[in-house]
Amino acid sequence: MDLLLVVNAGSSSLKFCVYSIAEAPTPALVSRGQVDGIGTHPRLRARDDGGATLADQTFGPTEIADVAAAMGRVGAWLREKYAGSNLVAVGHRVAHGGPRYSAPVIVDATVLAALERFVPLAPLHQPHHLRPMRSLAERYPGVVQVACFDTAFHRGHPEVADRYALPDDLYKEGVRRYGFHGLSYEYIARRLPSVAPEIARGAVVVCHLGSGSSMCAIKAGRSVDSTMGFTALDGLPMGTRCGQLDPGVVLYLLTEKGYSATDVEHLLYHRAGLRGLSGITNDVRDLLASGDAHARLALDYFVYRVAREIGSLAAAMNGIDALVFTAGIGENSPEIRARVCARSRWLGLEMDEAANRAGGPCISIPRSAVSVWVIPTDEEGMIAEHTLEAWRTHEGRRSHAHDGVPEPAA
């Protein structure tokens, strides 16, 4: 069996998916898992595509002290579990492709060096996304690795949507609006023809609402604009990130409050958003269950900003045909969906309350001028598709380069 691995690394966790590939156009999920608690209470868990447990192991902190060690442990599990199979490629989620990368790319030393330069643009994500690449390149130098970018889907924006009102030399250096969650939006765009063919070529606002939240205007399957910009701080308030902010606030913190650049970064990435507004938590489920006034404020602010951006993105497309909710909050919170839709009735949007409680996929009534949908996203599946395409192009459908899941380099 030919296998493809997808890796999505964080600061203390490593998520992975294993896919079987053949001559079929898309990869088939075989199993998914993660190593969490890296460096503290490491635990490896994996399930097959039906949800049955394949692995549940705990380790001492020093056994899996970092992402490289976690990647090594996952590799060992793969070799044992899928002995006799061929690991042909590994796909990686990468937060930022900068101005250079507008499509998935096969990773080599030059690509890695280029991606390192974008770390300041996505400091919460980029360093962690790159570590497994380096680890795999050292341990399994023959395996093809493919970087898939969260920014790539947005690279076709018109220049007026990507520009800031700053001097041209900064734009040429790469100071521009990139947009993120592109792998999620691309997956939704590819799913629309089968889930909702009547809107697939129309003007659609997709709300990717989760711990990290953004929204995207998609017209005829292509990204027109997004709420996120130069970094993943922009746009909507998120779990711990501020969202849109007057840059004068940053200047005030630096000049009047004595904040260092590191202090500002920590505030905007870790102490802001729903956590900052509520003073309690960044978990929407807990905020919904709370009777605290600050919890209500945080949710009111979140809903207000989502509804406001629906109008902004509709304007960017000269109208709107449909609204799509996806990601953790978007897929799983009927109350948040209902509150956003209630604020968006001016668009002619009418929700079906029973369908909303049931989770859709269509949650608007038939006469609604704007249809509303709940469509689960699958960023790992999108990465797998891109990785398979890149690998097939690279190999030219020749015989596979590996016999079995490879042993690490000596």
Domains (range + CATH), the chain: 2-149 (3.30.420.40), 198-374 (3.30.420.40)
Q: Report how far residue 356's alpha carbon sits from residue 338's, in angstroms, rounded to the nearest whole number.
A: 8
Q: What pLDDT is attached to residue 401?
A: 46
Determine the average pLDDT of the residues in 388-410: 68
Q: What is the mean pLDDT of the chain?
A: 92
Which whole number is the average pLDDT over 183-208?
97
Query: Can you say how many angstroms the Cα of residue 70 is from the centroid of all Cα atoms in its chain?
Result: 21
Residue 396 has pLDDT above 80, yes or no: no
Residue whose C-alpha is closest to residue 329's, from 223, 237, 222, 221: 237
Stretch 32-60: mean pLDDT, rounded?
93
pLDDT value of position 377: 95
* 150 carries an active-site annotation: yes
| β-pair type (53-58, 28-36) | unpaired
* Per-residue confidence band for 407, with pLDDT thresholds at 50, 70 and 90: low
State how far the Cα of 14 lies from the Cα of 38, in Å rounded to an integer. Answer: 8
Asked if 233 contacts 241 with a C-beta cutoff of 8 angstroms, the reply is: yes
Tally of CA atoms within 13 A in the half-sphere of 315 that contains its CB: 8
Identify residue 204 by its one-letter amino acid code: V
Pick the range with the lowest mean pLDDT from 68-72, 98-102, 239-243, 397-401. 397-401
pTM of the complete model:
0.91
Residue 405's pLDDT band, with cuts at 50, 70 and 90, is low
Mean pLDDT for the stretch of residues 322-333:
97
Averaged over 305-327, what is the pLDDT? 97
Backbone angles phi, psi at 318, to 5 degrees: 60, 35
Q: What is the DSSP letter of 401?
A: S
Q: What is the mean pLDDT of residues 167-181?
A: 93
Classify residue 172 by burial, with Cβ atoms within 10 Å: 0-12, 13-18, 19+. Answer: exposed
- The full DSSP string for 49-91 is TTS-EEEEEE--TTTT-SHHHHHHHHHHHHHHHTTT-EEEEEE
- 36, 56, 108, 150: the catalytic one is 150
